[in-house]
């Protein structure tokens, strides 16, 4: 852990859903509420699911609903089951290995409505809210589509291709990411959507800057964990990674 790390920033760093990051591991056990600099956490796998126990749940029932066995769950060290009988209590978090449904990354597009007088008396240049109508950040061919384990679009384009903001919003990250994204830009659109643009060769914006839809924010590149030049594009809805394709126009 580094100073300033939060579950949200770690979810962005490692490409995980925010709800999955509720299950993290330290040498002393679950530590989702207190993230102390210098401590070590283990990030859940891409297909793991962090489940919150509800009244009436049993471990056998949870396992059956998610296609697992009780042994699959109790053998996860983070879950802390010392031995039978295995019991769970409401609001307890349980890490379910490999339990994220394959279809979960394909939600239906969500409409966003902004009042007609929303801009009244406001300097539009500083307006931080998008409209939820996303444009393509680059024009190219999809070299890797969204799928379980890669809830994003990889769009093949030559290095140096201008990258545009998919919607209006505020830049919250702009710079190097050591976990594989390389140089990246993250934009909060103020309507529960966040977009991420990675493997950039150059960045033209800075954190705190409000950018317009279609504004050039960066140039595509081939740094980080890549096999060739492309733009890696992610879209989050309420912190959860979703397939960007149905929302792009």
| pLDDT tens, position by position, 64-77 | 988 899 999 999 88
For residue range 207-228, list pLDDT tens digits in order: 999 999 999 999 999 998 888 9
- Which tokens belong to 64? 């059956």
Give the architecture-level CATH label for domain 7-96.
Answer: Roll (3.10)
- In the chain, residues under CATH classification 2.70.70.10 are 141-247
For the beta carbon of residue 213, count every other beta carbon within 10 angstroms.
16
Q: What is the spatial distance between Cα 153 and Cα 245, in angstroms, rounded to a whole number?
A: 8
pTM above 0.85, yes or no: no
- In the chain, residues under CATH classification 3.10.350 are 7-96
Could you tell me if 43 and 33 are in contact, meaning their C-beta atoms sit under 8 angstroms apart?
no
3-state DSSP assignment of residue 78: helix
Look at residue 140 in the predicted model and tell me its pLDDT: 93
- DSSP 8-state code for residue 27: T
Q: What is the spatial distance between Cα 7 and Cα 39, in angstroms, rounded to a whole number?
A: 14
- The kind and range of the H/E element at 63 are helix 59-65
- DSSP 8-state code for residue 23: S
Domain 141-247 in CATH 3.30.565.10: no
Q: What is the spatial distance between Cα 23 and Cα 31, in angstroms, rounded to a whole number?
A: 8
Beta bridge partners of 95: 50
Q: What is the spatial distance between Cα 160 and Cα 180, in angstroms, rounded to a whole number?
A: 19
């Amino acid at each position: 852990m580094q100073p300033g790390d939060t579950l949200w920033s770690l979810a962005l760093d490692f490409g995980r859903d925010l709800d999955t990051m509720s299950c993290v591991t330290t040498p002393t056990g679950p530590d989702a509420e207190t993230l102390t600099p210098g401590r070590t956490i283990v990030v859940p796998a891409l297909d793991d699911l962090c489940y919150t126990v509800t009244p009436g749940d049993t471990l056998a029932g949870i396992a059956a609903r998610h296609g697992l066995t009780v042994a699959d769950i109790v053998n996860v060290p983070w879950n802390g089951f010392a031995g039978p009988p295995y019991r769970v209590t409401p609001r307890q978090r349980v890490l379910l290995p490999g339990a994220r449904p394959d279809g979960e990354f394909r939600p239906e597009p969500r409409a966003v409505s902004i009042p007609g007088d929303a801009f009244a008396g406001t300097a539009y240049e500083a307006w931080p809210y998008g409209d939820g109508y996303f444009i393509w950040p680059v024009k190219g061919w999809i070299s890797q589509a969204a799928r379980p384990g890669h809830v994003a679009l990889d769009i093949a384009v030559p290095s140096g291709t201008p990258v545009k903001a998919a919607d209006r919003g505020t830049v919250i990250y702009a710079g190097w990411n050591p976990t594989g994204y390389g140089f990246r830009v993250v934009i909060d659109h103020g309507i529960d959507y966040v977009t991420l643009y990675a493997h950039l060769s150059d960045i033209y914006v800075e954190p705190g800057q409000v950018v317009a839809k279609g504004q050039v924010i960066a140039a595509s590149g081939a740094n980080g964990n890549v096999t060739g030049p492309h733009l890696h594009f992610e879209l989050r809805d309420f912190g959860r990674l979703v397939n960007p394709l149905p929302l792009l126009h």
